[in-house]
Copies of this chain bind each other. A is one copy, B any other.
Amino acid sequence: MSAGVEGLDETHDPARRSWVPGASEHPEFPVQNLPFGVFSVRGRQPRAGVAIGEFIVDLRGVSAAGLLSGEAEAAVEAAGGGSLSEMLELGAAPRRALRRRLSELLSDNAFSDRIGPLLHPAAECTLHLPCAIGDYTDFYAGIHHATNVGRQFRPEGPLLPNYKHIPIAYHGRSSSIRPSGMPVRRPLGQMKPPDNAPPVFAPCRRLDYELELGIWIGVGNELGEPIPIGQAEGHIAGYSLLNDWSARDIQAWEYRPLGPFLAKNFLTTVSCWIVTPEALAPFRIPQAQRPEGDPAPLAYLSDAEDQARGALDLHLEVLLRTGRMRAQGRLPHRVALSNARHMYWTVAQMVAHHASGGCNLRPGDLFGSGTISGPDEGSGGSMLESTLGGARPIVLPGGEERRFLDDGDEVFLRAYARRPGFASIGFGECRGVIEAARAVR
């Protein structure tokens, strides 16, 4: 294992190989990842599982086989009722204990006889949301996104004065968060044509994706009890991908003065696996130095350890495939390549800020990072950015152009972590295909 990376143990050893067929070569789910989720098989009750290669291990089964003990067993016992919230609520120690034990069980051949029967081919399983989500909060931590979008409205001063002082966020809608694969029905909504034309109620014409990281809260806090920045990391249970589908024309007309509402709440897609902070430990990099002249964070957002622990070096991609490309047998085409390191705020800063006024977080709460765009051409996490508000279309293989999403378009988000000396890990699928709007009644 590489020296100089904190929090590493044998679960990160790239030489550790799983006896599960194909797992060690799997680009996303080798034994070094072990993300948690909820799955069901052929209509049976959803239950807790862990991904290994192209398989899912039934965690209750592992426990029932007597292969767990202590904290690891307690973690699995808490994961009932088709939601991992109560397992995540236990905090980091049981999660780590379970991870260490699963790493052993899935890499030591001696256990293959007993665990083999508990493996379900992922292709035969349905994945569900991993938690019953209480509240969903969407941040705005992608500074290049905030700048790119701001530039379209305020060329002379794209970033608002509060941006570098506050991890800006707003409350989103939890009821309409769905697992990867759920079709995205194009929303109807009010929008305002230019000039003096009255508003109309019609299908959205500027439908967009947003490339975000989802952050799952494990341990909560009591109402009125802030979370000190030095303890914030301990409240993070893990990460997913999140597509914050956005209706730009509805948003432009509705958002003043209280922020986005129907432009965002018709659907939010998340990838179903919770990738743990432990799995991502090798892929932390020092938080980028703030550029000369940027303000230092206020004390409640300032922690040397958090800065040292740093950002996530996580490659993020958006891929697009139109209905015609699908019919032609074409693969999805990458339309954006970005990286989670472009977040201006650490996730710990988001947690500390959220609770700083006393707001209580609950296990299973979900944060969105905000759209994570990079500084370069081709790194825009939304079409609003990559097409400059629809002015410059994306050209796709086969010659089709897109300014915003058409019906039949399929959007894939992808995340993967790679670093010399470590096994690569990924996040699984975060996908949605656009369906035609309902008829206006």
Contact of A176 with B258 at beta-carbon distance under 8 Å, contacts A228-B441, A295-B198, A300-B201 already known: no
B170 touches A201 (CB 8 A): no
B135 touches A259 (CB 8 A): no
Interface size classification for chain A? 35 or more
A187 and B161 CA atoms in complex are apart in Å by 22
A57 and B253 CA atoms in complex are apart in Å by 48
Chain B residues near A261 (CB-CB < 8 A)? 168-171
- The segment out of A122-130, A324-332, A357-365 that lies at the interface is A357-365
Chain A 419-441 residues near chain B, CB threshold 8 A:
438, 440-441
Chain A 257-274 residues near chain B, CB threshold 8 A:
257-263, 265-267
Contact of A257 with B160 at beta-carbon distance under 8 Å, contacts A135-B173, A171-B170, A360-B175 already known: yes
Chain B residues near A362 (CB-CB < 8 A)? 175
B259 touches A170 (CB 8 A): yes
Contact of A265 with B359 at beta-carbon distance under 8 Å, contacts A172-B171, A201-B299 already known: yes
Chain B residues near A259 (CB-CB < 8 A)? 170, 255, 257-260
Does A392 belong to the interface (CB within 8 Å)?
no
User: Min CB distance, A163 to chain B, in Å?
Assistant: 9
Partner of A175, one of B134, B199, B250, B295: B134
Chain B residues near A226 (CB-CB < 8 A)? 188, 438, 441
A263 and B178 CA atoms in complex are apart in Å by 29
A358 touches B257 (CB 8 A): no
Does A42 belong to the interface (CB within 8 Å)?
no
Contact of A357 with B162 at beta-carbon distance under 8 Å, contacts A201-B299, A267-B223 already known: no
Query: How does the 8 Å CB contact mask read for A41-66 relative to B, with 1 for contact and 0 for none?
Result: 00000000000000000000000000
Question: A: which residues have CB within 8 A of B?
Answer: 134-135, 138, 140, 150, 160-162, 165-166, 168-176, 178, 185, 187-190, 192, 198-201, 204, 223-224, 226, 228, 247, 250, 253-263, 265-267, 295, 298-300, 353-354, 356-362, 365, 438, 440-441
Q: List 17 A-B contacts (CB under 8 A).
A: A134-B174, A138-B258, A140-B258, A162-B253, A166-B190, A170-B171, A175-B223, A176-B360, A189-B357, A190-B356, A198-B295, A247-B357, A250-B357, A259-B259, A262-B356, A265-B357, A266-B357
